[in-house]
């Protein structure tokens, strides 16, 4: 079946603008995660959804970042008033469940490369 | 707070060598540990997930082991090939049922023909 998909693959914006990044998880996966990866670093956790609700948003860096998953499938990460420091690759992952067992294995999408000029 | 360390940052080996990639983590109260591969400019590909009840997990030429008591995991690659060249990341979940992952910085492997 289809894997996790993310759109757009690349996004270039100007400082201060608003951006939306979309994630389409694997069908049937109830858990969805957003991570951010800077050059030379491992991904860093941003937010985790179980179904429609944000179960853990402790990784969001500030209130300019917000994410939704209104129907428990597709998720959108929203960034307001973008700053140059927001430039990174934003990765989305999904898992069958949010539990940390075998069914919690996370599968990642190709990412969206965000560049803020 | 979970911290994951992978050393060295880069490794270059000739084709055909067997090699071991190391990963250490600070919070041993984990339910599983996952290894990923990342090619340049790409997303992460899941290689292996080891549950805490297992000591090893194998997939083809890859074998991953987990020792919770010492806070270590290793990824063994047998008979390395140039196509194995990539960055390998290990990731451990935070304590409890929540499986949000903490990643190491990765080991960039280059296999020379």
Contact A109, A3 (CB under 8 A): yes
Phi, psi of A91 (to 5 degrees): -110, 140
Q: Do B103 and A42 touch (CB under 8 A)?
A: yes
Q: Do B93 and A48 touch (CB under 8 A)?
A: no
Of A42, A60, A101, A110, which to mutate for an interface test with B (greatest number of B Cβ within 10 Å)?
A42
Contacts of B22 (CB under 8 A, 6+ apart): B6, B7, B72, B73, B74
Q: How far apart are CA B5 and CA A40, in angstroms?
A: 14
B28 touches chain A (CB under 8 A): no
What does the pLDDT look like over B60-104, one tens digit per residue?
A: 999 999 999 999 999 999 999 999 999 999 999 885 556 689 999
Residues of B in contact with A112 (CB under 8 A): none
Contact B29, B95 (CB under 8 A): yes
> How confident is the prediction along chain A (117 residues), in pLDDT tens digits per residue?
589 999 999 999 999 999 999 999 999 999 999 999 999 899 999 999 999 999 889 999 999 999 999 999 999 999 999 999 999 999 999 998 877 666 678 999 999 999 999
């Amino acid at each position: 079946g289809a894997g996790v998909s993310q759109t757009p693959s690349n996004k270039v914006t100007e400082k201060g603008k608003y951006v939306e990044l979309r994630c389409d998880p694997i069908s049937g996966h109830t858990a969805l995660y957003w991570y951010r990866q800077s050059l030379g670093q491992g991904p860093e956790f941003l937010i985790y959804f179980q179904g429609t609700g944000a179960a853990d948003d402790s990784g969001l860096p500030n209130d300019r970042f917000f994410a939704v998953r209104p129907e428990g499938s597709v998720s959108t990460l929203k960034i307001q008033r973008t700053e140059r420091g927001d430039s990174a690759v934003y990765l989305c992952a999904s898992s069958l469940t949010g539990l940390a067992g075998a069914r919690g294995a996370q599968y990642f999408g190709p990412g969206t490369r965000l560049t803020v000029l | 707070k979970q911290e994951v360390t992978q050393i060295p940052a880069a490794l270059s080996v000739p084709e055909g060598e067997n090699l071991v990639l190391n990963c250490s983590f600070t919070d041993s109260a984990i339910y599983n540990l996952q290894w990923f591969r990342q090619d340049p400019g790409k997303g992460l590909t899941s290689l292996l997930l080891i549950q805490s009840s297992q000591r090893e997990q194998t997939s083809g030429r890859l074998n991953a082991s987990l020792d919770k008591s010492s806070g270590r995991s290793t990824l063994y690659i047998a008979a390395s090939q140039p196509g194995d060249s990539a960055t390998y990341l290990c990731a451990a979940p935070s304590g409890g049922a929540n499986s949000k992952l903490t990643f190491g910085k990765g080991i960039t492997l280059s296999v020379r023909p």
